[in-house]
């Protein structure tokens, strides 16, 4: 039987199948079910500092009986953990998950202030997470902020967190950088242990009747994988950081493609929400069958085999293929 073992963030995993951050990892029973079904690691849903800030403002207003302004209340934020709200339940979940399963438990943090990122990253480490994923979901809507300002923010944030925790740190980011390869190299140099490609930026819709901007979450499909495959294939072998692909991993063939592009793991949420925990079991079986039928002894053997470095025609990942793609469309 083909060997599915891989490594991620310095950990030995039984397969590249990882449950990405989602409500699925919001309770210990589900985390256990994910392990039983064959997930090789789980990423907890994110601890959102934004939410903590809102709660802290409300608590603060309550404590000060309305005498404090919002701005002043926000200044109390660095002392927030002593309030024991929001993050406590999250940290407790990490502790319980560690006791309940033997697969790695990766904490996830979505911060919004420099002190918050660092403070909660430290707490996630103390709660026993094997590693941490920084979920950076930032949209630069301020025209005064340049691309370099944005990139520096990512790098500084990563450096700060790396300096304060000793568990491995992965950073989950979106694809919208003018020079993504350079950005990835900068994060690598700043000490990223993993790059998680890519965050999906959910696009709001308009409600024409109520003239409201409405949130709109749609699950992914395998088409979304292609963007991730391209960048994993471009970056493979150029980074010390390992690559995780999230977004558009649905079928076992998607997992194999992710590994061939150069990823160490392929993460899933939409597919599991659609098909249930047993989806991991099916993919594992199908991967084993495929490896056997195609004479592979292990998936490590195929890692990066379709990367830009390995294929004969690197132009397939570059602009040179643009014309070929356009010409390939048939009107029939």
When asked if residue 243 is in the footprint of ligand FMN (CB under 6 A), the reply is no
**How far apart are the C-alpha atoms of 224 and 246, rounded to whole Å?**
9
Least Å distance between CB 222 and ligand FMN? 9
Distance of CA 244 to CAs 9, 206, 259, 266, 276, Å? 10, 33, 9, 6, 22
Q: From the list 6, 108, 123, 264, which residue makes contact with ligand FMN (rule: CB under 6 A)?
A: 108
C-beta of 2 vs 248, nearer to ligand FMN: 248
Start-to-end Cα distance in the chain: 44
- Binding ligand FMN (rule: CB under 6 A), the pick from 2, 247, 262, 304 is 247
Region from 33-41, 60-68, 204-212, 264-272 binding ligand FMN, contact rule CB under 6 A: 264-272
Distance CA 31, CA 19 (A): 9
Number of chain residues interacting with ligand FMN (CB under 6 A):
21
Indicate the burial class of 18 (C-beta count within 10 angstroms; 0-12, 13-18, 19 or more): buried
What six digits make up the tokens of 59?
């608590």
Which one of residues 6, 15, 56, 220 is an interface residue with ligand FMN (CB under 6 A)?
220
User: Considering the rule CB under 6 A, would residue 264 count as an interface residue with ligand FMN?
Assistant: no
Residues contacting residue 225 through CB under 8 Å, at least 6 positions apart: 245, 247, 248, 249, 250, 254, 257, 258
Contact status, residue 36 vs residue 316, Cβ threshold 8 Å: no
Q: Which of 15, 22, 56, 307 binds ligand FMN (CB under 6 A)?
A: 22
Within 166-195, the residues that bind ligand FMN by CB under 6 A are 172
Q: Minimum Å distance from CB 298 to ligand FMN?
A: 24
Between residue 58 and residue 97, which ones bind ligand FMN under the rule CB under 6 A? Answer: none
CB of 249 to ligand FMN, least distance (A): 5
Q: Does 246 help bind ligand FMN (rule: CB under 6 A)? A: yes
Q: Across the strands, what pairs with 245?
A: 197, 266
Distance of alpha carbon 12 from alpha carbon 93, whole angstroms: 23
Minimum Å distance from CB 135 to ligand FMN? 4
Closest to 234 (Cα-Cα) out of 189, 277, 190, 181:
181
Nearest CA to 90 among 39, 36, 52? 52
Q: Does 30 contact ligand FMN by CB under 6 A? A: no
The reply on whether position 16 binds ligand FMN by CB under 6 A is no
Within 10 angstroms of residue 152's Cβ, the number of other Cβ atoms is 12
Give me the half-sphere count of Cα atoms (radius 13 Å) on the Cβ side of residue 263. 29
| Residue 56 binds ligand FMN, judged by CB under 6 A | no
* Contact region with ligand FMN (CB under 6 A), list: 68-76, 215-223, 226-234, 316-324: 215-223
Q: How far is the CB of 108 from ligand FMN (least distance, A)?
A: 5
| Residue placing its CB nearer to ligand FMN in the complex, 118 or 244 | 244
Under rule CB under 6 A, residue 21 binds ligand FMN: yes
Please identify which residue in the block is written with the tokens 């904490």: 107
**What is residue 294's three-state secondary structure?**
coil
Q: How far is the CB of 278 from ligand FMN (least distance, A)?
A: 16
CB of 144 to ligand FMN, least distance (A): 28
Contact positions vs ligand FMN (CB under 6 A)? 20-23, 45-46, 108, 135, 172, 200, 217, 219-220, 246-249, 268-271
């Amino acid at each position: 039987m083909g060997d599915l073992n891989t490594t991620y963030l310095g950990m030995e995993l039984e397969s590249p199948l990882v449950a990405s951050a989602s409500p699925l990892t919001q309770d210990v029973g589900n985390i256990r079910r994910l392990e039983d079904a064959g997930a090789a690691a789980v990423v907890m849903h994110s601890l959102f500092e934004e939410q903590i800030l809102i709660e802290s403002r409300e608590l603060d207003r309550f404590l000060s009986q309305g005498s404090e302004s919002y701005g002043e209340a926000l200044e109390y934020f660095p002392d927030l953990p002593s309030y024991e709200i929001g993050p406590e339940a999250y940290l407790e979940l990490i502790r319980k998950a560690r006791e309940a399963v033997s697969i790695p438990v990766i904490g996830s943090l979505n911060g919004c202030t420099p002190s918050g990122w660092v403070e909660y990253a430290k707490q996630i480490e103390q709660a026993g997470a094997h590693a941490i994923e920084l979920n950076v979901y930032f949209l630069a809507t301020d025209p005064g902020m340049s691309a370099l300002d944005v990139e520096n923010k990512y790098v500084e944030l990563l450096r700060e967190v790396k300096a304060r925790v000793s568990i491995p740190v992965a950073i989950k980011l979106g694809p919208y950088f003018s020079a993504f390869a350079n950005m990835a190299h900068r994060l690598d140099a700043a000490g990223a242990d993993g790059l998680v490609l890519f965050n999906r930026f959910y696009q709001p819709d308009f409600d024409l009747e109520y003239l409201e901007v409405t949130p709109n979450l749609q699950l992914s499909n395998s088409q979304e994988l292609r963007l991730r495959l391209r960048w994993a294939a471009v970056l493979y072998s150029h980074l010390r950081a390992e690559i995780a692909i999230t977004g558009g991993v649905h079928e076992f063939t998607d997992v194999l493609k992710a590994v061939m592009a150069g990823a160490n793991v392929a993460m899933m949420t939409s597919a599991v929400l659609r098909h249930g925990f047993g989806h991991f079991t099916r993919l594992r079986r199908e991967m084993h069958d495929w490896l056997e039928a195609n004479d592979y002894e292990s998936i490590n053997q195929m890692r990066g085999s379709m990367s830009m470095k390995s294929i004969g025609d690197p132009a397939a990942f570059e602009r040179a293929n643009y014309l070929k793609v356009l010409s390939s469309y048939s009107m029939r």
